Amino acid sequence: MINFLSEITEKSMGTYLDKRKWMLRYYPDYFPLKSTPFLTYEVLVGIMGISAADLVSFNSSAPEKTRRVLDRLSGSLPAIRVKRTMDENAINQYLVAKNTIKNDADMVALLDMVFGDLDFVVESVQQRCEWLALKALSQTTISLNQTNSAGVITEEAINFGLPTANQEVCADADHYWTVTTKTTNTPITDITTIVLEALKKGVVIKHILMNATKFIDF
């Protein structure tokens, strides 16, 4: 396909993507990107706690620790795609802007027009990755439907295998972290309880993610 947007070449696009300051997101910290040549995945799900080394005498072997594996997750990797179409009006605006450049401001406007769609598609893919990561972290399952995904629809929720005993769900509406229940909810106590329960299982909680709306309620 012939690219009539002469400003976009493989080199210029690579330079732009490398130097562009993108919106910071959480998912790379908790789910680091990993390159793979395959379209499938397989991971082991195990019990991970804090294990202490043993004290032994000199010249003796170390006691062997067990490696307990609970389950194996596998599946196919779906594609994340987004598309924008430049219609005839947009193409005409581009051509007019290109042919009437008189100063640096005109050039900046042209480049904004050309690279605006590039920004949009990159941020869209990043935002979907963020949504998937935070959904998995907060609810341990992901369901895709017509409301949250126009593409793949899951017949069953994708379950990440967190044991029910390790899931914390507030069943009492009076304790929801909302402004309307501020006289009965106990967020600090709830957080402390969860942290202590995790410690008993050998897990140290370092971060708690909260959106801006919930933080205001908090």
The pLDDT of residue 6 is above 80: no
- Same domain, residue pair 194 and 149: no
Q: Are residues 108 and 127 in the same domain?
A: yes
Residues 70 and 124 in one domain: yes
Same domain, residue pair 120 and 187: no
Alpha-carbon span 154 to 145, nearest angstrom: 7
Q: Are residues 103 and 206 in the same domain?
A: no
**One domain for residues 99 and 142:** yes
In a domain, 113, yes or no: yes
Query: pLDDT-derived band of residue 49, with 50, 70 and 90 as boundaries?
Result: low
pTM of the predicted structure, to 2 decimals: 0.71
Residues 6+ apart with CB under 8 A from 83: 121
Verify that 139 and 45 share a domain, yes or no.
yes
pLDDT confidence bin for 22, thresholds 50/70/90: confident
Indicate if 17 and 122 belong to the same structural domain.
yes
Q: pLDDT tens digits for 69-97?
A: 556 677 777 788 888 887 788 777 777 77
Q: Count up the domains in the chain and report the number.
A: 2
C-alpha distance from residue 181 to each of 178, 184, 188, 210 (Å):
5, 6, 14, 18
> Residue 44: which residues within 8 A CB-CB, separation 6 or more?
69, 71, 72, 73
Q: From residue 139, give the alpha-carbon distance in Å to each of 12, 132, 134, 158, 199.
A: 40, 10, 8, 11, 21
Boundary (domain end) residue, out of 167, 187, 210: 167
Residues spanned by the domain of 99:
10-51+63-167
Exposure b/e, 44-60, CB count within 10 A at least 16 = b: eeeeeeeeeeeeeeeee
pLDDT tier for residue 1 given thresholds of 50, 70 and 90:
very low
Q: Give the highest mean pLDDT range of 106-110, 138-142, 192-196.
A: 192-196
Q: Do 17 and 45 belong to one domain?
A: yes
Asked if residue 185 and residue 153 are part of one domain, the reply reads: no
